[in-house]
Amino acid sequence: MTMRILRYGESEWRRYLERLPRSSSRSLRVERAVQTIIRDVRRDGDRALVRLTARLDGIRLDSKRIHVSSEEIRARARRADPKLAAALGRMARNIERYHRRQIERGFSLRLPDGSTLVERITPIDAAGLYVPGGAAAYPSSVLMNAVPARVAGVPRIEVVTPPRALDTNPAIAAALVIVGLEGSVYRIGGAQAVAALAYGTASVPAVSKIVGPGNAYVTEAKRQVRGTVDIDQEAGPSEVVILADETADAGWAAVDLLAQAEHGSGSEIVALVTPARKLAIEVKRLVDEGARSVANVATTRKALARQGAIVLVRDLDAAVEACNLLAPEHAEVMTRDAESIAKRIIAGAVFVGHWTPVSVGDYGVGPNHVLPTGGTARFTSALSVRDFVRRQSQVKLTRAGLRRVASDVARVAEAEGLTGHAQSVLTRFAE
């Protein structure tokens, strides 16, 4: 079975929507396992990290080897392909240039009575970056998570990664050197690494926010420690929706769909939304052919069969409606007047026109590729500098300033039954 063709608004479309993985989806088995891991790390610290790494990763550590020396990271970075390292360096500069435009300075508002109202923006004190191992060990994600934190001015960034990640992928080490984090790396992964960042151990300092992708256990651990620390988001499988009319190239649309389906989880969401039936049929044929030659063939076919769809709509207005119901991680607009259509789209990131495939967003033109998934683009945004700062108000009233608001404050406080609030203001003017 491959991508199905269905009609927007009909029963098969509604069933497709209902079956899609959403951000609230979770496994009770994973939830319980993660609860146990977090409890063990909180109780036993480094001893739990050593024990869990032996059991879950098959690697024997001792507490002295949890931290990876900067010399070791630099040595591993030198094993990376020099051309790849150079590309990562250019990518980092592009990301930094874009994210520097996100810096906010706050403001100070001086009132006529001499009072001042201030919004102060300061970086959080420490962030933790999770770098996954295995097939999901992407050096691009190191840059996308670390650069905004650096630009925000976070003074301390700790990096955790499974023990084998640095051995199997020297490009990870190269990316860590590029962002200046070679001295802050710990060879631990999984839920236990998230717990260590949240609560701290003798070897791993606690942080205030944890970012970075991971498997179901990592995602569940981030969910469970939220509140003790902040997290970026509960990332799900990759998603793309392509809006296309008859001007789109069927081959380009097909390869863009396959590029997202090949991520490897088998749960990726890939959809083409179009009023052009001829295009729909041709894209389906090309996707079927191309699925034999992408990475992760088995999981790509699984994703196409389970979450792949070509949605026929009456016109582009209906295409926008369908896309916005999905609120995908990525949306491509391959239509006439693409810029106008793009302004109406709800998605984590929108890629406009025939020459802008989603893949360029993954690899460093500037905007962040850490994006909301599972329909959460309706109310949340890409990772940015803003995620690594605190906004704090500061109020300084003069006597005249307090007198100006005193009666209003007292009246509302008394209406809410909080007479102490009213008295704290009025007592300052008691004769």
The angle, 0 to 180 degrees and rounded to 10, between the axes of the packed helices 139-152 and 170-178 is 20
Q: Counting every residue, how long is the chain?
A: 431
Q: What pLDDT score does 24 carry?
A: 56
Rounded Cα gap, residues 190 and 170, in angstroms: 20
Q: What pLDDT score does 136 carry?
A: 61
Tens of pLDDT along the chain (431 residues) come to 578 999 999 999 999 999 887 765 678 899 999 999 999 999 999 999 999 999 999 999 998 999 999 999 999 999 999 999 999 999 999 999 999 999 999 999 999 999 999 999 999 999 999 999 876 678 999 999 999 999 999 999 999 999 989 888 999 999 999 999 999 999 999 999 999 999 999 999 999 999 999 888 999 999 999 999 999 988 888 999 999 999 999 999 999 999 998 887 888 999 999 999 999 999 999 999 988 888 888 988 998 999 999 999 999 999 999 999 999 999 999 999 999 999 999 999 999 999 999 999 988 799 999 999 999 999 999 999 999 999 999 999 999 999 999 999 999 999 999 999 999 999 999 87
Q: What pLDDT score does 223 carry?
A: 95
Report which DSSP code applies to 226.
B
**Tokens standing for 150?**
């650096």
Q: Are 346 and 377 in contact (CB under 8 A)?
A: yes
Q: What pLDDT score does 32 carry?
A: 96
Rounded Cα gap, residues 129 and 139, in angstroms: 12
Domain annotation for the chain: domains and CATH numbers: 4-23+236-365 (3.40.50.1980), 28-231 (3.40.50.1980), 397-429 (no CATH)
Q: What pLDDT score does 363 carry?
A: 86
Q: What pLDDT score does 11 carry?
A: 94
**Tokens standing for 408?**
């209003």
Q: What pLDDT score does 1 carry?
A: 57
Query: Scanning the structure block, which residue is given the tokens 């990290």?
Result: 49
Q: What pLDDT score does 22 carry?
A: 74
Q: What pLDDT score does 176 carry?
A: 98
Rounded Cα gap, residues 422 and 425, in angstroms: 6
In three-state secondary structure terms, 184 is coil
In three-state secondary structure terms, 264 is coil
Rounded Cα gap, residues 268 and 381, in angstroms: 19
Residues assigned a catalytic role: 329-330
Predicted TM-score (pTM) of this structure: 0.92
